[in-house]
A and B are shown apart, each in its own frame.
Chain A
Amino acid sequence: MSDVKKELMFLLGHYGHIGITFVASIFIGMGAGILLDQKVFDGRTAPWFTFFGLAFGIAAGFKSLFDILWRSSKNMEKKTDEEQ
């Protein structure tokens, strides 16, 4: 397979996926927070776990975004090494 095609596949795959991963991270984080608040602690700790869950969810979203950026920059480095 040609390099251009491989690059295109990588871009399509990862950047087409990152948007929904971001949203899913936030939903899972906040859902876990709400679950802890309402079900485990019966609303006694509300709204703190919800907020922490939301914060961790957003952080996880950014983490998966940075993972993809690092991975793509690593790919670029590898390619330039091969070319030299």
Chain B
Amino acid sequence: MEHPILFISIILEKLGLPVPHGPVGHGILEQLCAPYMTYTWLVMAFLFIVAKLTLSNLEMVPGKGQNFWEIVIGGMDDFFADNMGRRLTDQFFPMLATFGLYIAVANLIGLIPGFMSPTASINTTLALTIIVWVSHHFIGFREHGLHYYKHFMGPMWWLVPLMLPIELISNLARLLSLSIRLFGNIMAKETLLGILFMLAGAFFAPLPIMVLGVLVSLVQAMVFVLLAVVYFSQAQEHAH
């Protein structure tokens, strides 16, 4: 398949920095220059700059930029509060809202030629998932102390030998499924777009897939945040 043209990688190569051509580079500098890393920084810079430009002077009567952010942040806040309660929302809102915005922008950026989605790399999605997974256990231990183990014991004491492995496996499956779902969806979108560009790019063949790509990108970002919220609220609940 044709190698995708990624403009940050080209600029870095012109600057004399080592850009890995395989999926993983050797040495720390080459790993830092891998496309998913550089595009992660691009997305981070984008979010910082847009937030700075639109929110640098808050007003009582909001303008265009402030209105947009008020709808986005207010909607997310209501949604989290509905699903996991006001207290957890206040504690974890910055993390979850950042994940939602970051994943949405990172997914969408891959639709522009010359850019790639950082979330099309399993490294990014697995890192996000591990943070969510660790923090939902953290919430569990904080809420219930050592009694958190009852979450893994099933409803009745004589079912423990059966339920303990099942609960442990299904808990570990969260780690795998959450990361692979996001990675798989976005990588499939990127690969499909690449192949269609190569085969029939002159006839606008990738256009319908791009329309679907917008939908997939937003839905996947939403699903990730929704599931993180559900896991948090499950860890907070009392064991059955």
Task: List chain A positions with a Cβ less than 8 A from chain B.
Answer: 1, 6, 9-10, 12-14, 16-17, 20-21, 23-25, 27-29, 32, 56-57, 59-61, 63-64, 67
Is B75 a contact partner of A1 (Cβ separation < 8 A)? yes
Is A64 a contact partner of B222 (Cβ separation < 8 A)? no
Chain B contacts with A in 180-198, Cβ cutoff 8 A: 180-181, 184
Is A16 a contact partner of B173 (Cβ separation < 8 A)? no
Which residues of A sit under 8 angstroms from B219, Cβ to Cβ? 12, 16
Is A17 a contact partner of B181 (Cβ separation < 8 A)? yes
B166 at interface, CB cutoff 8 A: yes
Cα A61 to Cα B165 in complex, Å, equals: 12
Is A20 a contact partner of B180 (Cβ separation < 8 A)? yes
Q: In the complex, what's the smallest C-beta–C-beta distance from B127 to chain A, in angstroms? A: 18
- In the complex with contacts A1-B78, A17-B181, A60-B223 CB distance below 8 A: no
Q: Which of B78, B169, B227 has the most chain A CB atoms closer than 10 A to its own CB?
A: B169
Cα A27 to Cα B176 in complex, Å, equals: 10
B177 at interface, CB cutoff 8 A: yes
Q: In the complex, what's the smallest C-beta–C-beta distance from A47 to chain B, in angstroms? A: 17
Which residues of A sit under 8 angstroms from B176, Cβ to Cβ? 24, 27-28
In the complex, 30 of the A-B residue pairs with CB atoms within 8 angstroms, ordered by the A residue number, are: A9-B226, A10-B226, A12-B219, A12-B222, A12-B223, A13-B222, A13-B223, A13-B226, A13-B227, A16-B181, A17-B177, A17-B223, A20-B180, A20-B181, A21-B174, A23-B177, A24-B180, A25-B169, A25-B173, A27-B176, A28-B176, A29-B165, A56-B165, A56-B166, A59-B166, A60-B166, A60-B170, A60-B173, A63-B167, A64-B170
Which residues of A sit under 8 angstroms from B166, Cβ to Cβ? 56, 59-60, 63
Cα A1 to Cα B72 in complex, Å, equals: 12
The binding surface of chain B is classed by DSSP as helix
Q: Which of B165, B172, B223, B230 contacts A16 (CB 8 A)?
A: B223
How many interface residues does B have (CB within 8 Å)?
25
Cα A25 to Cα B172 in complex, Å, equals: 8
Which residues of B sit under 8 angstroms from A25, Cβ to Cβ? 169-170, 173
Known: A56-B166, A59-B162, A63-B167. 20 other contacts (CB 8 A): A12-B223, A16-B181, A16-B223, A17-B178, A17-B227, A20-B177, A20-B181, A20-B184, A21-B177, A24-B177, A24-B180, A25-B173, A29-B169, A56-B169, A60-B166, A60-B167, A60-B173, A61-B170, A63-B166, A64-B170
Cα A1 to Cα B162 in complex, Å, equals: 41
Cα A66 to Cα B229 in complex, Å, equals: 19
Is A60 a contact partner of B169 (Cβ separation < 8 A)? yes
